[in-house]
Structure 1
């Protein structure tokens, strides 16, 4: 309960801060929407030259992209730790974090939250509804519950990968370019993995499981029965990888040497 109360207190203070500079917040939201629109237009341009890609239609890939946006938005709102190395290790702010009687990762999540990123959830659902109407998808009464479960699993997958990368900083405090590279690799998860070769497909499934953020869970709603096993593995993969990332984080904290020379 203490953690829940802290979360809502931080969220309330964050919104007060952001609403002080409303124009800045609106510009940031519009910037995110423009970025998502560019990716959407890219898909349309690709299908301007073909009707199918490895057995997937334009509408199906648009649906996958829409699903991908939802867990990605949740990740972006609460795990904005792309600058963890520079801010908390190199500049020594981790010292401040470790003096407080709250789990260090939870504190960083609270400090770095960007709640405006949650607008991506609305965008993603809108894209899914658009593609679903073109595909004439039928939704069962339990599908909304399955959707929430798969979205949370996908968000945990994304979060776990970046927590693991951030944990590397405890052993190596030198600036690294791994985080931006991983953001780019994560974009592969919004396309069907069978359009890649077997090596990339294996990596995106079992090593860096970005495929469980977009294509695998979306395959359930698209009726791709041969991919159902992967779809229902999404929450399992999310929990397993996130538990492992927390374990590595906790081990890394014990290796932290503090700021200074």
Structure 2
């Protein structure tokens, strides 16, 4: 309850600061919307030249993209740690974090929140509704529950991978460009996994499991029964990756030597 109360206090302060600069808040939303629109337009342009890609039609791939946006928006909102190495390790702000009686990762997450990115989840819902109506999809009473579990699982996959990357800074205090590289690899998870080479499929499933962010959970709602096992494994995979990431983070904190002079 203490951590939950602290989260809401941070959230309240965050919203106060953001609404002091409403134009900047609005521009952030517009820029995110434009980026999502470009990706959607790319998918639509591809299907101007073909009707199917490895058995997936246009609306199915659009639906996968819409689903992908939901866990991705949650990840960006609550685990925005792109510049952890530069800000907290190189510039020494992690020393300040360690002086407080709260778990260090929780503090970093609170300080790096970008709640305006949650609007991306709304865009994802709209895209899914559009594609789902074209496909004539129907929902059962438990589908919303599964959707929440799978979206949270996808968020934890993303969060876990990037926490592991951030933890590298505890051993190496040099600036690294691996975060942008991993971000680009993560984008592969928003397309059907069977369009890739078997080696890439294996990597996206068991090494860097970005496929559990988009295509695998979305396949359940598309009634692709051949992918159901992976769909239902999404929350489990999310927990596994996240727990491993937190363990690596905790080990890294013990190895942290301080910023020095």
Instruction: Look up the match of 2:40.
Output: 40
In the alignment, the residues of structure 2 paired with residue 138 and residue 4 of structure 1 have an alpha-carbon distance, to the nearest angstrom, of: 36
Partner of residue 7, structure 1: 7
State the SS of the aligned residue for 2:6: helix
1:52 paired with 2:47, answer: no
State the alpha-carbon separation in 2 of the partners of residues 138 and 27 from structure 1: 36
Cα deviation per residue 1:177-215 (whole Å; 9 max; x = unaligned)?
100100100000000111000010000000000000000
Q: Separation in 2 of the partners of 1:137 and 1:106?
A: 39
Q: Distance in 1 between matches of 2:147 and 2:125?
A: 11
1: CA distance, partners of 2:31 / 2:256: 36
What displacement does 1:260 show? Answer: 1.8
Q: Distance in 2 between matches of 1:217 and 1:114?
A: 25
CA distance in 2, matches of 1:98, 1:194: 45
Q: Could you state the TM-score of these two structures normalised by the residue count of structure 1?
A: 0.99
Other-structure match for 2:128:
128
Q: CA deviation at 1:258?
A: 0.2
Match of 2:255 in 1: 255
Q: How far 1:44 moved relative to its partner?
A: 0.3
Distance in 2 between residues matched to 1:53 and 1:211, nearest whole Å: 17
Gaps (5+ residues) in structure 1? none
Q: Could you tell me how far 1:138 is from its partner in structure 2? A: 1.1
- Paired residue for 2:185? 185
Size of the aligned set, in residue pairs, is 261
Provide, for residues 100-156 of structure 1, a one-character-per-residue CA deviation record: whole Å limited to 9, x for no partner.
000000000000000000001110000000000000001111101110010000000
Name the SS for the 2:19 alignment partner. Answer: helix
Q: Runs of 4 or more off by more than 2 Å in structure 1?
A: none
RMSD: 0.5
Question: Match of 2:69?
Answer: 69
C-alpha distance after superposition, 1:71-109 (max 9, x if no partner): 000000000000000000000000000000000000000
Correspondence list, 1:104-183, <5 A: 104-183=104-183
Once the 2 structures are TM-superposed, how far is the Cα of residue 240 of structure 1 from its aligned partner?
0.6
Which 5+ residue runs of structure 2 have no aligned equivalent? Answer: none
Counterpart mapping for 1:188-199 below 5 A? 188-199=188-199
- Quick one: distance in 2 between partners of 1:112 and 1:150? 24
Aligned residue for 1:98? 98
For 2:54 and 2:134, how far apart are their aligned partners in 1?
19
Distance 2:116 2:233 in 1: 29
